Structure 1
Amino acid sequence: MASATTQAAAASADVPPAYGAAGTTAISEAGTSTTATSSNRPGFPGVYRIGTANLQVPLVKVKHLQCHLNLLGAFAQLRQEVEASDAALPEAAMRLETERRWAWFVGLAVERFERWVKNINLAPTNPKEFAHAAAPPLDVWLVWHAYMLNPESFADDCSRHKSLLPLSALLGTSDSFFLEVLEELGDMNKLTPSEARIASWLSETDTPYDPLEAARVLTHQSLQCPVCEKAVQARYLESDGTGYAQQKFTVTCPACAFVITRDKLAIFRFTSDLALDLDSQKIRDEYGLGVYLPATLRSSVLPEQKATARVVKEQLLTVAPFKPSGHILKRGPMKSALEMAQNVGWDWSTVKTAVQLKVRARTGARVFGCYHDQRPFSVELVGAVLRQGSFVKKMKDLHWTEADYFENPDDELALHHANVRYHAFLDLMSSSPSSFLVPTLDIDLAWHTHQLTGPRYQANCKAYVKRYVNHDDKVEETHLANAFDLTCRAWFDRFKVQYMQCGCPLPGDTIGQKLSRLVSHAGSRYYPQAALAPPPELPELLAASHPSDHNSVAVPDLPHYKANHQAYEKKMQRRRERVLAARRRDGVASKEQFDHGGFGFAPAFLVPVPLYWGGMGGIGGCVAGAGNVVDAGAGGWGGGFSGCSAVSVYL
C-alpha cells in the first residue's frame, strides 16, 4: 500500500505513479484514494497533468463514459429500427434506400428538436426531476448530442439567440446536466416516459412522443414566405425530388407565387440578422447578443468580443446591397431584410462578390457558413448527426455500446485507460496551441463525453488548455490523415509512447521504425509509459487506438483535392504493399488477416464519411454546400471563400 508520503513525493516530482502493478494508488471519482488489490488490478495516475496543472480528479467521470456509450447504443438501435421498418413509415419514405431513409428521419428529428427547444420546461430544477418529468424522446437526444459536439457553435448560438437561452439555462443548472440526466434515465433503449410526460410532449411540440410514430404523422415542414410572410406548407418528400428533405427543394408560396428554396431561406435569415441595428437601444434590448452575426462574437480566449463583432457587421453594412440609406458620413435608416435579399437577387454568389473586398475571406466564410435554412442553428444539424454515425458504428463494432459490457471492474479498465489518454491529449493540446491534433477512438469517446458537459467543458478548456477548444465537425480527408500522422509523432515526442497501439504501421513508417517505438521503454515526466500503453491482454484497447475519422469528409471539387487525394492513395498503397509483403515473409499470407490485424477492426488509414456535395449557389471553394446522400454528381464548386465550415445533407 502506497503511503501518503510516497504519494506526496510523487506529486511534488510531477511524476504520477504508474499503473500496471499491484499496490499502486488510484484516485476515485469522488477524489478519495483507494488501493489496488493484490489481484494485479492496475491502478492509475495519482494526478492528471494538463500543462502546468495537476488534477487530483479527472475531468471526465468513467460512469459518464458508460452513460454516453449506452446512449450511442440506443442511437444505433434507433437507426436499425428506422432502416428495417416495413409498414411503419410513410410510403414515400419506404421507397428510399436505407441510408437515405435515415437521413430523412434525422431531418424530422431536427424539426422536433427545434420545437422542443422553443418549449423547454424549466420547472424541473435538477437532473433527476428533469429526467422523469421533462426528458425528450430519443430522436431529440440524437440531435441535441450532435449539436453539443460542435462546442464553439453551440456556445455561440446559446449566447446569441433568445430562443436558445432556456436550453443554456437548463445546462447551467448542474455540473454535467446532459450526462446526469442520462445517468438517471438508465438504459436509453428502454426509455419509458410516463403518461403525463407523453401528454405534455404532445402539447409542447404537436407531435407524438414516440419517434417512429412521429415520423408517420410529420409529412410537412411549416415555413414563412420571406416576401409576403404568409405560412407555407412544404412536403418533406416529393416524387420529383423537390421536397423539403430533398436536394432539389422548391416550393411556391400560394399567396404571392414566390419560389422558395433552401438558399433563399438561408439568405433571408442572414439579411434578417444583418438588418438588426446595433445602434438601436430597443433592438439591443430585444435581441441581446443576437444583434451580432454568428461566428464573430467568440474568440479562442474570449467568450464575448463585442468590439470585433461590431466591426465585422459594420464592414458588411458598407457594402452597397446592404448599406443603410442616408449621407455617407451619417448612417441613415437600415434597409429591411427583404430589401437586402432582393438587392443581391437571392443569390449567394452575388453576396460573395459584393463583400469580398470588405471583409477577410476567412471571416466571410465563417459567417456565411452558419446559414443553411430558416433555422436559428449555425450548425447544419442533419449533417452533424450523419457524421456522428461513423463514430457510433465504430463504438458498436468494438462492442463498447453493449449493455453491461463494462460491468466487471476489470473490464472497466478500458474506460479508465481511455480517460488517462484523453487527459494526456489535452496536455498535448496545451503544449501545441497552433497544431491540429487528431484523436484516436478511445480518446475521442472521452473528448465527446467531456463536451457533453457544456459550460463546464468551456470552463475546463479555458482553465487548463488556456483557450476554448473546438471540436471540428468536418475536416477534409487528406488533411485529417496528414494531421493524424503528425499527432502520432508529437505524442511520441512528448510521452515516449506509441500513440496508436494496434500495431498497424503509420503511412511512411517502416517495420523497423514501428519496432523501435514498440521496444522503447523511455518514460515521460508527465505521464509514465505504463499509464498510456494498454495492457497486451486487452485487444479491444488496441482497436480503440485507431484514428477517429468520423469528421473526415471528401470535397472532390476543391482545386487541390484531386492531387492531394492521389498522393495520399499512392502513399497508402505503398504502405499496404510493404506491410503485406512483410506479413507474408512472417507466414501471414492472408489479406483478410492483414486487414483485420487479428482483432476484427479496420486498418489504420482513414476513410471519409460518404457525403457527396451539391452546390449552394455561391459560396464556392469551401465546405459550405448542400451535401447530397443520393446524387454524387449534383452541383459543384466555384472559387472563393475557403475555410467555411457548414455542411448540409439532404436526400
Structure 2
Amino acid sequence: MKPPHDTNGTSTFVFPTTFPIGTKRTSPLVNTAQLRGHLFLMRAFMELKEQVRTIHEHPKAVLYQIPKHEIYRWAWFVGLAVERFTLWCLSINHDNTHGKSIIDILPPIDVIMVWHAYMLNPARWYAEDRLRLPSLATLHEVGNMFADSLPNLTTILALKASDARVEAWTQNTKRLFDPLDDAVEQKTKTLYCPNCRNPIAASLVSEYGRGYLQQGFGIYCPQKSCPRQCIIYGLLGLRKLAEDLVRNDGTMRSYLAGSLRTSKSECDVDRAKKIKDVIITSAGFTRPPNTTDEQWILFIMDKCSYFVKNIMGYLPERDQALFLRILNAYSDDRMFSVELTGAVLRQGTFIEKMQKLGWVGLSNNQEKETALQHAVARYHAYLSFSCSPRFLDLMASSPTKFFVPTLDIDLVWHTHQLMACKYNDNCRLYVGRFIDHDDRVDSDRLASSFDDTCRAWKNRFGIQYAYCGCLMPGETLKDKLLHFLRFHTDPLAHLVPIERKDILDTTHASDHNAVYPNISKVTGDASRKYEKRLKRAQQLSRKGKTNTIIPVKREGHNQAFLVPLWTYYQEEPVAGGCVSQGLSGTMAPSRPVASGDGSGNAGNGEL
C-alpha cells in the first residue's frame, strides 16, 4: 500500500475503535492521554538532568565529591537516586500508603526516574522482583496507583509538591525531599563486610576513584580479625548470591533471581527449585556437616574463590546462557536484580532522542493527537504480529531471532509496560505469553534483526514497516511525530503514514540500548549494508517497483536500532536437572560478572 499524500494539510485519519490481536479484538490497550502523561514525565527527567548540570554551584557542594565532567556528574547523581529509591522501597508499607492519594505519596522526581527505568529494563526482572522480595510488596500496590495516574501526570508533575507528599517522603526515608539538596548532603553508605558482617562506612565518592558510586570502588574491612580482602561490587554480589542459595524459609525469597518467572508462567516454583539444586550440586556447594547458615555461606564464597564468575566453570554447558543471566543479577549488594544506575543511563539516551525529535512535551492539539493515535495503531499491529503463525514459525526455526520496534511503536510499548499489572494480563490474554525486551543487545544482532522485522512485517501485512529510509532520526523537527493519514478503504490504512519525509522519519529504529563492542567495524559494516539497500531502493523507485519514498541521506546519521521485543515461543522444559535454553539474546548489567566473548555481554537464556 502506498503512503497517502497530504495535499491539503488536514488529517482525515480515522482512529479505529478496536484492534485485532491474534484471534481476539480489543479496545485500545494504551490511550493517548497515557502517552501524554508519559511524555510529560520524560520532560521532567530532562529538566532534572539540566538542574544537575549546575549542581556544583550549590552552596553546600563539596567539589571533589562532585565529578567535573557532566557525563560523570550525571552518573554520580543517578547513583544517589538509586540509593534514595532503595530507601523509599524499604520504607513504604500498607500502613503509610493505604487509602492515600498518589499525589500525596509519590516520591521525588529522581526516585520516580529510577522506578521508571526499573519497570522498563527489562520488564520481567521488575515483575519477578516484586514477587520474590517482601520489601517490594507495597511497591506493587503503589505501582497500580501510579499506572492509574498516568493520564493525570501532566497536572500532578506541574504542581508544586504538596505538604503531605513532602512529609510522607521525609518521615519515611529521613532524607530531604529535594534531590539536589539531598545530593550534596550524602557522603557515605553503610556496607556490611561479606566475611565478618562488620558495618563499614564507605565513601560514596573519593578523590582516588574508590568510592561506592565510582567504577573503581574498593574498600577494606577495618576489623583486624577479618581477612585483608578488598571489598568490591563482585564480592558484595557473591555474598548476596550465597545468602539466596542458603536461604530455605519456604518463601519466594528462597529462590534465585531470574529463576521463577517464565514467558508462560508467572511463578514456576518447581523449575526454580531445580535450578537452585543444579547450581548447588554442580558447583559443589552442598552444605558441609554440622554447619550454621553463616558457615555455609562462607563455604560457598570460598569454594568459588570469591568470584561469582568462577561458578560458571562448574555448571552444565548447555544451560550456560540461563545461568549467566541469573548470576548477572548478583552484580552488587543491592536487592534489585537489575543494575539500576546503568538502566537509568540507558533510558536517558532514549529520552534525549525523543526530545530532539519533538516528542517530549507535545502540546494538546488535534494534529499531535493524530500522531499519537497512529503510534497506538501501529503498536497494536505489532502485538498482533507477535502472535501470528508466520512469526511463530520464524521463531521456531531460528530461536535466536527477535524483533525490533520502531520509535513510535516503542513509545506506546514503554507506556504499556508502566502499567505493570495491566501489561502482564494483556500479554497473557492476547498474545499468550509475557513479552519482554532485553536491556542491552549487540548492535550487529540488532541490525540483522531489524532487517528480519521489516521483511516479516511486509509478509504479514503487505505494507512497509519503516518508511524513513534513513539510518537515524532526522534533524530536529517540531512536528516529527505528525502522521496525517488520508482515509482509505483498506483495513490496514491506519498503519500507513502519509508520504511526507518529516512524518515518515518517525518509523525509524533507534539505538538507545544498543551495545557497540567494536564501533569501527559495526559502523563500517552497517554503512555498507545501508548504502547497498539505499541504492537498490532508489533503482526500484525509478522503475516504479516500490511505493516507498527514498529520503536524501543526511550527514551524521549512523545505524541505529531500538531494544528488541522479546517474544518467547518455545516451551521451557526442565530436563536432566535444569532448563533448556529457549529464545536467546544478550543481557548484562553495567557490572557484568562474566562474558563469553569479552564484550561484556552475557547470554539471555529463556527463563
Question: 1:147: which partner in 2?
Answer: 118
Change in Cα spacing, 1:126 to 1:482, as seen in structure 2 (3 Å) is farther
**What amino acid is the match of 1:400?**
W
Query: 1:413 is paired with a residue of what secondary structure?
Result: helix
Give the whole-Å Cα distance in 2 for the aligned partners of 1:102 and 1:472. Answer: 24
TM-score by length of 1: 0.75
Residue 85 of structure 2 is aligned to residue 113 of structure 1 = yes
Question: 1:353: which partner in 2?
Answer: 313
Kept in 2, the 8 Å contact 1:222–1:231? The answer is yes
Kept in 2, the 8 Å contact 1:41–1:410? The answer is no
Question: 1:102: which partner in 2?
Answer: 74
Kept in 2, the 8 Å contact 1:321–1:344? The answer is no
Give the whole-Å Cα distance in 1 for the aligned partners of 2:387 and 2:532. Answer: 34
Change in Cα spacing, 1:564 to 1:594, as seen in structure 2 (3 Å) is closer
**What amino acid is the match of 1:361?**
Q
Change in Cα spacing, 1:254 to 1:363, as seen in structure 2 (3 Å) is same
Question: 1:67: which partner in 2?
Answer: 37
Question: 2:333: which partner in 1?
Answer: 374
Question: 2:566: which partner in 1?
Answer: none
**What amino acid is the match of 2:436?**
N
Alignment: residue pair count: 541
**What amino acid is the match of 1:168?**
H
Question: 1:606: which partner in 2?
Answer: 560
Aligned equivalent of 1:204, options 155, 169, 172 = 172
Question: What's the offset of the Cα at 1:544?
Answer: 1.9
Question: 1:568: which partner in 2?
Answer: 526
Indicate the percent of aligned positions where both proteins have the same amino acid.
Answer: 34
Query: 2:437 is paired with a residue of what secondary structure?
Result: coil
Give the whole-Å Cα distance in 1 for the aligned partners of 2:595 and 2:457. Answer: 38
Change in Cα spacing, 1:40 to 1:296, as seen in structure 2 (3 Å) is closer
Question: 2:367: which partner in 1?
Answer: 410
Matches for 1:1-400 after TM superposition, within 5 Å: 41-55=12-26, 57-88=27-58, 89-123=61-95, 129-149=100-120, 150-171=122-143, 174=144, 177-187=145-155, 190-255=158-223, 256=226, 257-277=228-248, 283-284=249-250, 288-319=251-282, 321-326=284-289, 336-356=296-316, 360-400=319-359
Query: 2:275 is paired with a residue of what secondary structure?
Result: helix
Higher relative contact order (CA 8 A, sep 6+): 2
Change in Cα spacing, 1:622 to 1:398, as seen in structure 2 (3 Å) is closer
Give the whole-Å Cα distance in 2 for the aligned partners of 1:211 and 1:114. Answer: 14
Question: What's the offset of the Cα at 1:234?
Answer: 1.2
TM-score by length of 2: 0.81
Deviation per CA, 1:463-516: give whole Å up to 9, x if none. Answer: 10111001211111111111111111111111122111224389xxxxxxxxxx
Kept in 1, the 8 Å contact 2:377–2:494? The answer is yes
Question: What's the offset of the Cα at 1:169?
Answer: 2.9
Kept in 1, the 8 Å contact 2:283–2:311? The answer is no
Give the whole-Å Cα distance in 1 for the aligned partners of 2:456 and 2:489. Answer: 15
Give the whole-Å Cα distance in 2 for the aligned partners of 1:370 and 1:326. Answer: 29
Kept in 2, the 8 Å contact 1:325–1:333? The answer is no
Change in Cα spacing, 1:196 to 1:438, as seen in structure 2 (3 Å) is same
Change in Cα spacing, 1:644 to 1:505, as seen in structure 2 (3 Å) is closer
Query: 2:451 is paired with a residue of what secondary structure?
Result: helix
**What amino acid is the match of 1:251?**
I
**What amino acid is the match of 1:143?**
V
Question: What's the offset of the Cα at 1:549?
Answer: 2.1
**What amino acid is the match of 2:181?**
E
**What amino acid is the match of 1:375?**
R
Change in Cα spacing, 1:333 to 1:605, as seen in structure 2 (3 Å) is closer
Question: 1:546: which partner in 2?
Answer: 508
Kept in 2, the 8 Å contact 1:51–1:465? The answer is yes
Of 79-88 and 209-218, the range deviating more from structure 2 = 79-88
Query: 1:192 is paired with a residue of what secondary structure?
Result: coil
